[in-house]
Amino acid sequence: MSMINNALSGAIAAQTALNTTSQNIANVATPGYTRQGVLLASLQAVGGGTNAAGNGVKVSSLIRFADGYKSLQMWKAASELGRYDAGQPYLDQLESVMSDDTANINNSLDGFFASLNAASVQPDSAALRAQVLTSADTLVRRIASQQQLFTTQHNALNDQRAAAINQINGYTADIALLNQQIAAAQAGGLNTSGLADARDQRIDALASLVGLQVVAQRDGTVNVSLNNGQPLVVGSDAAVMGQNAGQLELRFANTTFVVGSQGLGGQLGGVIDYEAQVLKPMQKTVEELAAGIATLFNGQLAAAGGAPLFVLNGTQLELSSTITAATLAFAAPGEGAGGGGNLKELIKLKDSAIPVTQFGGTSTVLGDIYTQLVGTLGVRSQQNQAAQTTAQTVRDQSQANWASTSGVNGDEEAISLMQYQQMYQANMKVIAAAGKLFDSTLAAF
């Protein structure tokens, strides 16, 4: 009977292997699916002496071909890619607008000084004076348009940050629930491969939003934390991320942590980095440019006893509502109404310098500030694009590396299918042969 038992155990093992192979083949195109295999072990003889060959074979367990290191590398690559992807659309938008002739502040500034130069030919010309006011109004509107773009981006970034936080909370809750299900299934001796795949997919999606550390536990669960070690998921408990007056917070186990933005990673980190390192400095520079224009021109007009041409409404540059073409103080003190001594001083202001915070607080010539600003933006965009391309390459390579271990290869599964089919058929032949031997033995009596 041991011959039949051995063959029966082999047939059962082959059937389990065929079921596992069929599962792999069925999921060859399933995203995030981790292939499985069987671990076979021979059953040793119990009694029978040295002539007992053994008691067949058993499936010790199903193997999930997962490599923790490769998964971690893939998740880290997702965080880096998410970080650079988040800021690039905003950089592209700023580059497009700020470099366009219809929105370029420098063009309006040049047009304003061109109108002053034209008026210097005949300072008392009403038409030329009116043109100065028109070009000044164009300059004001260009700066206002630029500032409105900054405000629009700030609002979009706030919305994107809020959406990312909601997604993060959704994924951490899912991971905590899957941890609970995996621990219960593993304790009950059930296969947890499908649950682990679902959890890994959520970790991968979470990693694209924020940088992670993932540590596997002996009970099958994983603990997930931010790069700085602050917990997101511990066992079946998940933290909740939120904002308080613009500051990120993490609430976990009745404790609230302040989350620093340094090295946060992922799309959330990319949004915060872009706002802090690009948008706010550029917005500050345009505000300083607007304030510098108002201070320089109003100061020079006041020196000749004239009314201000510009006013600052908060950080917004506006044309004075009281100024008229006739009241522009083009004449220097003591000159007649048609004099242009002060107008010449106004024209010279183009070479005046104002301090700019983004450029280290150094004084920068008025006509060069916007040019340097656009140049700085272009360099930042190119650097981000280069990093984005590198991050995409690393991500693609890490996914391919993961697939080499965990992905389903159709050719390999086809070979396994034939191998286990032959194993099953061979064992069934052994059972048939054993049956004939048994019948022969009975016929001898």
Rounded CA gap, 259 and 168, in Å?
14
- Residue 54, amino acid: G
Rounded CA gap, 426 and 429, in Å?
5
C-alpha distance from residue 57 to each of 185, 225, 261, 434 (Å): 25, 43, 56, 17
Residues of the chain with pLDDT under 50: none
User: What pLDDT score was predicted for residue 359?
Assistant: 78
In eight-state DSSP terms, residue 306 is: P
Rounded CA gap, 323 and 337, in Å?
16
- Nearest residue to 333 via CA among 307, 308, 305, 309: 305
How big is the chain, counted in residues?
445
Asked whether 43 and 58 are in contact (CB, 8 A), the reply is yes
User: What pLDDT score was predicted for residue 49?
Assistant: 66
Rounded CA gap, 436 and 427, in Å?
14
Give me the numbers of helices (H) and strands (E) for the chain, helices first please.
Answer: 10, 13
- Residue 187, amino acid: A
